[in-house]
Each structure stands twice: as structure tokens, then as C-alpha cells.
Chain A
Amino acid sequence: MAEVELSDLIGLAERVASWTKAAGADEAEAYVAWAKDTYTTLQGDVFSTREGVSAGVGVRAVIGRKVGFASASSLEEAKLRSAAEKAVEIARVRPEDPKFHRLPDPVRRPARSGGFDEQIIEIGAADVVPQAKSVSSEALSADRRVKYVVVFIYTQAYMFGVANTRGISCGDRASKFMGIVECKVSDGSEERTGSDHVYGRRIAELAGIGERAARLAADSLGARGLDQPVVGHVLFDSTTASMMLSMLTYGVSARSVQEGRSRLEGKLGKQVASKELTIVDDAWMKDGLGTVAYDGEGVPTTVKPVIEDGMLRNYLYDSYAAHIEGKKSTGNGMRSWFTSQPSIREVNYMVRPSSRSPDDLLSEVELGVYVRGDLMGLGHANYVTGDFSVVATNAFLVRRGSIEHPLPPTTIAGNFYEMLKTARVGSDLRLSPIGKIPSILVSGLTAATRR
């Protein structure tokens, strides 16, 4: 199936970069990517399933301090050449960027790839269809109140080659598997939802997620609202904790810091979180979804603490931000597809776990809320100040260490950076799209529901 090899992509990237230079760029970079994706969706009784292969190139052309970008979704020479020429033409109309220095030079340091599942190259969506059906059946038979189930299974095999005219020439492969289930329960008067998932780099067993989603939905029935907002503890399970921690990237991005948009500006070496919190950006996590040997600019990715015992240790850099401070890129100029330019993102966050189970954390809650399921509205948070207000789909009132009753959809509001200062971590690391995250207990947030 893979009629294209990684070495082909790297070779193509080198050629496109040189064509771009020949077309008039002072220097140039080409990122050539290939992906085979399968998307299997089962909604109720209707499958909508697709799969395919696509590939293409993103070209950066540099003229002085002007940078142009163009892409083409094709590996045919004529189209690659037209993208190269367009990037040069666009560079000419761009304004000078005084902060831009140059494309990165080759960096010599060890680089490691993550695990790759060869099966994912061969698998078709047709092979995944029975798995989707069994997840749906499992959810429907778990509880008679389950009325509607949506299952989504995604597989991806990904390869990229990146080369620039300063000598960078490299690439890597990655595989990805996601199984997600959402179900709706109704007891006639009340409707609730529940969800669960499995993420990984290898095809995995999905048995159990349908039942867990159904149980979460069913456990949320019989909700009673809060008489008044609760200001107290919030225990995020590993899933919702990972959604919350995705806010960190904005603050530790060197770009945000340089542009004065980060609350963590000037905080290197200072206490920004509770002593319990250690977060490493771990590019060598074998099974991490973000794991990749080189970033989107061809710089080897790295392992470095972001927060260590509550102290801010590092910002994340791509080559653009690194040049501004005369530093080296940390290999965080990530790209998810050839149509996008590099942007600063974590590879994988690894939160150092404690020895306390989620139940141990729960037992510490005098008055508060246990948050599971999904968080909505995180995209509307103020990433500059850290203020957020999200709606938790599955929240439970906790009093004196035990769950009292489910709550209706619950608004949780507060400040992300203040919240970090109160964080207590659990032992239950779970793989999520941003890394490995356990349950996290925080305080000082406000929880409110309709009465």
C-alpha cells in the first residue's frame, strides 16, 4: 500500500527546496508529507466511512527578511514546481519581518522516533467497521436507558520529509489510532451523555469503552442542581485534566512570551505551580501521540522539563523564536500537515505521577466537584490571562470525601495559572492527545449549575 517510502519524501523535499532557490529565493525549505487516514463513523444505525491517501508539499521561500509560503496537495513535479514558484512570488509581496533571521541550520543531537504500527499502513476502514459496530452494541446493551450511540474510529499512518537549503534533510514516520464513543441515555424525563476513548500509536482493543461511556451517562442521571455556586475543590479526571493542561502550551510558547502575551513571562526559575507539579515535554515517550524524531523544520525534538517541582524551567522554541533570543530551537516547531507552517507546540507532556489514586484525591475533598466526561468552551478561554469558563458534561457533587449526587451540566470557572498553584496530582496516568496526564485536584475554582 505504501507506494511511497520515507526516503522518497526526503529526496522530494530536497529537490523542491532547491527549485525554490532557483526560482529566486535566498533560501528555501520544503516539507513533504504523506498520510493514509481511515475515518469510521457509526451514528445510530448509519455508517459514514471513508479512507484515503493524500500527500503534498508546503514551501517556505525566504527573500531577505521576507518569507512566503505556498502548498500543493500533490507529489507531481509540475505541481510541486508551481508551489515553489508561488512561494517566491508571495515572499516578494510580504513586508520585511525584522525578527526573522534565517531558516534553521542542521542540529546534531540524538533524535528518536516513536513506535510505529506497520499494520496501520495496511488496514482499511472496512476492517474497522466491525469494531465500531461492537463498541456501539456494547454501549447499547450496557444499560437499557442508552438511546443513541456514536462511535468514531480513526487510524493514520503519517510520513514526512523536510529539507532546507542550509543543509537540513530528514524525516520520520508516525502512526495513530483513536477510538471514541459517545452515548446518550434517557430515563424519559432526563437526557444525559457519556463518553470514553482509547488513543495510541497502535491499533488497540476497544472492548470496555462502550460500557464505560454508557455507565458514565447513566451515573449522571438523577442530577440535582446546586442551590448556590460552590467555591472549593475541583477534581479533574485524567481526561478532563489533559484538556485543561492544553492551556499551558500558550503560556510556555516562547512566541507568546516574546510578544508579551504570556502570564509566564519573566518567570523562569520561579515558582509558578504547586511543588507537586512536574511536567516534562518528553519527545522520547515511545507511545506518545506527539512523539516524532524531528519537528516540522527538521530540528531534532528534545526532552526537557517545563515545570519542575512547581518551578518554571523552560519555554518552548521553534527556530524563529530561538533566533530572536540568540538561543537554539528546542525542536518544538511542530507541523501537523503540509498546508500549515511551523507553530510552537509541545511534543508530549508527561506529568510526574504521585502514589495517590483518584479515590485518595477524592477523599481529600471537603466540598467540591468531580469532573469527568467532556469540557466545552475551552476554546473561548482567555489564553493571555488564563481566565476560563467551561461547561463540564459530567460533574458530581463531592462532600466529605464522597460523591453525593450527579450535577446537571456544570460551569467551572477560574484562572488557569492560579489553579496550577493548587494542583495535587494522582497516580493514574492516561495517554491523551497532549501526553500522559493523571487526575488533578485543584482548588479555588467556582462551580455553578442551573438550580
Chain B
Amino acid sequence: MEDLLALAVRAGEEAGAELVEARGEDITVFSMRSEKKTVKLVDYKRIVGVGVRVFADGATGYAYTNMLTREAVREAAVRAFRIAKAASRHTKLRLHPAECKPARGTFRVEVRRHPGEASIDEKKEALHAGEREAEEAAGRLLATTISRYGEAYGWRYLVSSDSEARVEFLVASMGFSVVCKEGGEMADAADSFGGTVGFEAFTGEHSPEVMGGNAARWALEKLRGVKPPVGKHRALVDNRLAGVLAHESFGHMSEYDFVATGGSPLAGKIGQRLGSSEATVVDEGVVGVEGYPGFRVPCDDEGVEARRVVILEEGVLRSYLHTRWTASLAGVEPTGNARAVDYTFEPICRMRNTYFTPGDLTLEEALEQLRNGVYACGTAGGQANFDGSFMFKATRGYLVEGGEVKAAFKDVAILGHILEFLRNIEAKTGELKVYSSFFGGCGKMGQAPLYVGLGGPHILVKEAMFGGERVG
């Protein structure tokens, strides 16, 4: 593979390109979905191909092939070059790659048991074990159980005019959702775990039995839950919900391609205070948190080492996320945020692992400091708009009174504006958890699902707006 990529780079350079990047991949994708302990869907895909991106005359071109012959790969390089030349003749804006710290070498993933080594049967048994636990926990109120397992693994190879790297690729995740019913009422809840992890990760608190049981118990709580807490309240959001806000609502606004076109509310705000001194948001490639690695991206798809980017530091906007050409446009160093969903797409500005940094409270102390308010956990859909407004349905939520978790709500949705949320951050717990999932990755400009990580600690906010399911 690397020989073919080197050939493509030479072909592009000989044609007269400013920079050539060739990327190859061999990825295996497997997923399984079971309902009521019956395997409903099994999908297996092997994805192999090569893509070549060329910078020439201030424009870019991209061509791909999965015919892995020298002729086909050379032709892809030439075609990419022709596209760049043609585009250059018809646009005024000049795109050039910024100088960067190129990635070199082999980036392996270390796990105890590679998910590809577990048999399909073993994965099926794991899902069914979780569903059995859910059935038992939900008892006669059970309506349905759904379980899912997905993994993608393999290698990506990057050879460019100034870098050469081979990067191991791995994501695995497992999840359970349960619907309970009583009279005319229905409620659902889910638990899941995933990231760049081995199959051994699905043990202990992330074992199928614990996750299946959690989903059932949480669905039961909601079934007998109290009415949603409509209005403004003090609030504590958990690690997952914090992560979704960091990624969906704040992170996208910091992608420099959106900033450059003036579409982002963060345009021109570097150095300005946007949040409280407790609000720090980071995007990085390799998260060093034991047990919660998110999705590992040691270098990006332009062959740039993945830097840790502190987007927001103690409330002050410090940096945007960059690819090589956006960095050149902004006059800064690339951050290693250029990512492509597969070989048929060119890399664009994307997040890697985006999270709020932790503070020092324990969960008990955070609840004590909250005193009276809403404790909201996870997300079950919603949306973030480009103006910074958002609405997310929490997976579950609780009424907190006198620092103690009381009744569960039937449903909870948190809504508002991300900048207001950042201003209202009062305190954070000490644990950092970063999650990733095979299911429902990030989507942008037709490139989906891109695996990303997101997370944070528990975050205490002075005030947040809540609604029920139908709000928003």
C-alpha cells in the first residue's frame, strides 16, 4: 500500500503540484442489532481504497480509486492535479497548505483483546446477556429490548510530500435500550459504552449485564417519573451531556472553515471572554484518560500530528480548529483537525475528542452545591443550531432537593444558548470521561459517520432552561 501511495505522491509532484497527500485505508466494519433477543441486522463491510489530494496553483483537487494498481493510483494523482488546476483558473481565493509538524512512523493501538478476535457468536451472546438482564430488571412492564454492537478497525496509511505515517484505527461500542410500558404510558432509556477499546472494555460497569440492567431500571424510573421541570433551574449535567454540548453546540462553531466564511458566532472573538473562569473546552487527538479513551486520532488525514487544542481557556477563546489550508489562511499552525470519513472524501476541518476539562468536586459535593435543581444525564436526540442555540433531550433527569437526588422526571430537555451556558458554569467535578461510539458519529458536508470522542466532568450551572419532550 505505501509503495502505491509514494507512487501517487511522485506522480502529483512531477505534474507540478505544490503538495500531494496520498491516503490509503483497509478498514473492516461490523455491526449487529438485536431486538427481543432476535438478531435483526448484521452488517459486515470491508473498505479498501486510496485517495489523493493535490494542492496546485492555490486550489485543491481530490481523486480516489479502489483499483489498487500502479496505473489506477497514478491516474488518480493526475486527475486530482487536473481538478486543482481547473479550479484555480475559476476562483480568486487562494488555498495553500501551511507548514506543519509532519507525522512520521507507526501509531499502534494497544488493547488487551482486539474486538476483531471475538467471534460473531460471542458478540451475539454478549448482546443477549444484556437483554436478559434488562428483561429481568423490567419484569412485567417490559415492552421491548434493543441491543447493538458495532466495531470498525484496520489501518490508514498516509504518505505526503512531507510526511509518512501508518495509523491503526479502532472503535468498538455496545449499547442497550429498553422500553417499558404501564397502562397507556411508555418510557425508554439507554446505556452504552464505546471508544478505541478492546473487547475487554465491556466488563465491570460497562458489561452487557450492567448496561442492560441500567437501561431497564432507568426506563422504569421514567415510567413512574414526575412531570418535566419546565422553566429555569440550577442544574448539574453529567459527563455525556457535557460532552454533547462541547461537541455539538460549541465545537462546531470553532471549526475554522465555518469561521472563515463568517458563519460562526465565534468569528473574530479570539482573546474575548465568552464563559466563566470554570469553562475550559479542549479538542485533542489522544486522550490520556484510563478507561475512557474516546476515539484515538494520533495524527490527522493530512499527516499532521494531532495537537491538543485549548479552544476555550478559563472562559477565554484561545484557538480555532484548523486544517492545513485554513491555518495558512489564518496565519497559524495547523492543529491536526483535517479528517475524512473514508477514501472517497478529501479531509475537511473536523473535531477529534472534544470535552470540558474537569474541576475538583466529587459528585456528592457537586449535588450538595447544587442544593435544589435538575440533574440531567445523557442525550437522546436534539439539535444544535449554528447561531449557538440548542435543545437536547436528556436520556434521564432527576429532581434534586437539599443536595439529594429525589424523583426521576418523565422526560427532560435542556435548551438555551451555548454562550449563556458557558457563562453560567459554576463548578465541575474531578472525573473526566470521554466517550465515543460506533453508532451516530458526527456528520458534516456529506461526510458521516465520522468517529469522534466527547465528554467532560459533571458540570454545575447557575441556571439552565428546561422543557419537556415537546419543547423546541
**A interface residue numbers (CB < 8 A to B):** 3-4, 42, 44-56, 68-76, 79, 82-83, 86-87, 89-90, 92-95, 124-127, 129-130, 132-133, 339
What are the residues of chain B within 8 A of A44 when measuring CB–CB? 261
Q: B83 an interface residue at 8 Å Cβ cutoff?
A: yes
Alpha-carbon separation in the docked complex, A132 to B89 (Å): 12
Q: List 18 A-B contacts (CB under 8 A).
A: A3-B72, A44-B261, A48-B346, A49-B62, A51-B83, A52-B76, A54-B64, A54-B344, A74-B48, A79-B46, A83-B46, A93-B120, A126-B61, A129-B89, A130-B86, A130-B89, A132-B90, A133-B90
Q: B106 an interface residue at 8 Å Cβ cutoff?
A: no
Report the minimal beta-carbon distance from A296 to chain B, rounded to whole angstroms.
17
What are the residues of chain B within 8 A of A51 when measuring CB–CB? 62-64, 79, 83
The segment from B36-44, B204-212, B378-386, B449-457 found at the interface with A is B36-44
Q: Which of B83, B89, B92, B120 contacts A50 (CB 8 A)?
A: B83
Q: A3-B72, A50-B64 are in contact. Are A79 and B48 (CB under 8 A)?
A: yes
Report the minimal beta-carbon distance from B229 to chain A, rounded to whole angstroms.
27
Query: What is the chain B residue whose CB lies nearest that of A127?
Result: B86
Are B66 and A86 closer than 8 Å at their CB atoms? Answer: no
Interface of A is mostly: mixed
Report the minimal beta-carbon distance from B9 to chain A, rounded to whole angstroms.
17
What are the residues of chain A within 8 A of B71 when measuring CB–CB? 3
What are the residues of chain A within 8 A of B120 when measuring CB–CB? 89-90, 92-93
Q: A54-B344, A130-B90, A339-B45 are in contact. Are A73 and B66 (CB under 8 A)?
A: yes
Are B65 and A129 closer than 8 Å at their CB atoms? Answer: no
Are B91 and A45 closer than 8 Å at their CB atoms? Answer: yes
> Which 6 A-B pairs rank lowest in CB-CB distance, beginning with the nearest?
A52-B64, A47-B87, A50-B62, A129-B86, A126-B82, A126-B86
Are A73 and B68 closer than 8 Å at their CB atoms? Answer: no
Alpha-carbon separation in the docked complex, A3 to B76 (Å): 14
What are the residues of chain A within 8 A of B64 when measuring CB–CB? 50-54
Query: What is the chain B residue whose CB lies nearest that of A73?
Result: B47
Q: A93-B124, A126-B83 are in contact. Are A52 and B63 (CB under 8 A)?
A: yes
Interface residues in B84-119 (C-beta closer than 8 Å to A): 85-87, 89-93, 95
Alpha-carbon separation in the docked complex, A129 to B87 (Å): 6
Report the minimal beta-carbon distance from B4 to chain A, rounded to whole angstroms.
13
What are the residues of chain B within 8 A of A79 when measuring CB–CB? 46, 48
Q: B397 an interface residue at 8 Å Cβ cutoff?
A: no
Q: Which of B39, B65, B79 contacts A54 (CB 8 A)?
A: B65
Q: Which of A50, A55, A75, A86 contacts B44 (CB 8 A)?
A: A86
What are the residues of chain B within 8 A of A70 when measuring CB–CB? 44-45
**B interface residue numbers (CB < 8 A to A):** 38-39, 42-49, 51, 59-68, 71-72, 76, 79, 82-83, 85-87, 89-93, 95, 120-121, 124, 261, 344-346, 445
Number of CB contacts from chain A to chain B under 8 A = 132
Report the minimal beta-carbon distance from B122 to chain A, rounded to whole angstroms.
10
Are A52 and B51 closer than 8 Å at their CB atoms? Answer: yes
Known A55-B67, A93-B120; 16 more pairs at CB < 8 Å:
A46-B95, A47-B91, A49-B86, A52-B344, A54-B49, A54-B66, A68-B42, A69-B44, A70-B45, A73-B48, A74-B46, A74-B68, A86-B44, A87-B44, A125-B86, A129-B89
Report the minimal beta-carbon distance from A139 to chain B, rounded to whole angstroms.
15
Q: A50-B63, A129-B83 are in contact. Are A90 and B345 (CB under 8 A)?
A: no
Are B65 and A52 closer than 8 Å at their CB atoms? Answer: yes
Alpha-carbon separation in the docked complex, A398 to B47 (Å): 52
What are the residues of chain B within 8 A of A54 when measuring CB–CB? 49, 64-66, 344
Alpha-carbon separation in the docked complex, A86 to B44 (Å): 7
Alpha-carbon separation in the docked complex, A56 to B121 (Å): 26
Are A53 and B72 closer than 8 Å at their CB atoms? Answer: yes
What are the residues of chain A within 8 A of B47 when measuring CB–CB? 73
Q: Which of B38, B79, B85, B261 contacts A95 (CB 8 A)?
A: B38
Query: What is the chain B residue whose CB lies nearest that of A43?
Result: B261
Report the minimal beta-carbon distance from B39 to chain A, rounded to whole angstroms.
6
Q: Which of A3, A45, A94, A95 contacts B67 (CB 8 A)?
A: A3
Are A50 and B91 closer than 8 Å at their CB atoms? Answer: no
Task: Indicate the member of B45, B60, B445 with the most A CB atoms within 10 Å.
Answer: B45
What are the residues of chain A within 8 A of B48 when measuring CB–CB? 72-74, 76, 79
What are the residues of chain A within 8 A of B44 when measuring CB–CB? 69-71, 83, 86-87, 90
Query: What is the chain B residue whose CB lies nearest that of A37?
Result: B344
Alpha-carbon separation in the docked complex, A71 to B43 (Å): 8
Are A53 and B67 closer than 8 Å at their CB atoms? Answer: yes
Are A50 and B344 closer than 8 Å at their CB atoms? Answer: yes
Q: A70-B44, A72-B45, A82-B46 are in contact. Are A45 and B83 (CB under 8 A)?
A: no
What are the residues of chain A within 8 A of B79 when measuring CB–CB? 51, 124-126
What are the residues of chain B within 8 A of A92 when measuring CB–CB? 120
What are the residues of chain A within 8 A of B63 when measuring CB–CB? 50-52, 125
Alpha-carbon separation in the docked complex, A305 to B377 (Å): 53
